Amino acid sequence: MPMKFYILDVFAPKIFAGNQLAVFPDAADIPRNRFSQLAREMNYSETTFVLPPKSSEASAAVRIFTPTIELPFAGHPTLGTAFLLAATGAVKLSKDQTMVLELKAGLVRVFVELKDSQRGKAIMEQPVPQSRGTVSDLSTIAASICLTSDDIAPYSPEIFANAVSFFIVPIKSMRALERARPNGALLEALFSKLNVEGLICFSTETVEAGSQVHVRAFFPGLGINEDPATGSAQGPLAVYLFKNNLLKRGLKYRISAEQGYQVGRPSKLTTTFEVSDNLISSIKVGGDVILMAKGEFLI
């Protein structure tokens, strides 16, 4: 049975940039045991499968797979899938240019702006992440990404969760951040101890003048050695930056993050949020999307 798929670049400032995504828009007839096999075959950070929704509020249900496991929630798969469904006419946008997708983690509203049938922008709402506490063993943390404790900036590394758990580690300089790489068993042991899916390290030194942070993300347990663009981590990173006074204070915030440079997939991610009485709300994460290709499996 032929199985149609599309390939998109998400958080992409230009073609052949951003985070690649494969989408199977008509997955209802694909055997469920094929989902993980197809995701491994595509071998992108994530592959999505679109199904009829169970909720009457949703336009479609989306299942998200890395090459090794299924995820309840992720950023660029949600944005890229929403853009594709709008661009191909599979889902009609509401008057406010949004649709609701049903993920394993729950319902997510996505705003889609179509520039044409191949390019546009997508923005998703994210829950406010919850802190699971700071971690003080800097030597072990640094060694897990092949750095030293002197490379870590003077802010406590912290765990945040928003359906996926991230360990956020601040790095003093771009030079140190560029040296970082997963240290095999040490990083796996740290993930197991902290019960997290990924490590997000960042520096406030950037490549582009318009960026506030340069980000790298490691998810070896998910089959993703380094992720080119991690949309689901932007909410947690925004809260971390606000909590540690790394943003200019105000009521409304806009953060431009760059990622993926070390793997040849430069990406631009934008996060906005609001603050009232020192409480964060209305987190939204988005970026540009480009439809790159389409094809079909013939099995």
Give the residue numbers marked as catalytic. Answer: 46
What are the distances in angstroms from CA 116 to CA 50, 88, 121, 210, 291? 22, 11, 10, 26, 10
Other C-beta atoms lying within 10 Å of the C-beta of residue 190: 20
Contact at 8 Å (CB) between 47 and 21?
Answer: yes
The CATH class that applies to domain 130-279 reads: alpha beta
Same fold, 3-126+288-297 and 130-279: yes
3.10.310.10, 3.40.640.10, 3.30.70.940, 3.30.360.10: which CATH number matches 3-126+288-297? 3.10.310.10
Phi, psi of 227, deg, nearest 5 = -90, 130
Q: Which of 137, 133, 138, 142 is nearest to 165 (CA)?
A: 133
User: How far is residue 67's CA from residue 222's CA, in Å, rounded to a whole number?
Assistant: 7
Taking only the tens of pLDDT, the chain with its 299 residues reads: 789 999 999 999 999 999 999 999 999 999 999 999 999 999 999 999 999 999 999 999 999 999 999 999 999 999 999 999 999 999 999 999 999 999 999 999 999 999 999 999 999 999 999 999 999 999 999 999 999 999 999 999 999 999 899 999 999 999 999 999 999 999 999 999 999 999 999 999 999 999 999 999 999 989 899 999 999 999 999 999 999 999 998 889 999 999 999 999 999 999 999 999 999 999 999 999 999 999 999 98
| Residue ranges covered by each domain of the chain | 3-126+288-297, 130-279
Residues 6+ apart with CB under 8 A from 29: 1
Q: Which amino acid is at 57?
A: E
pTM of the model as a whole: 0.96
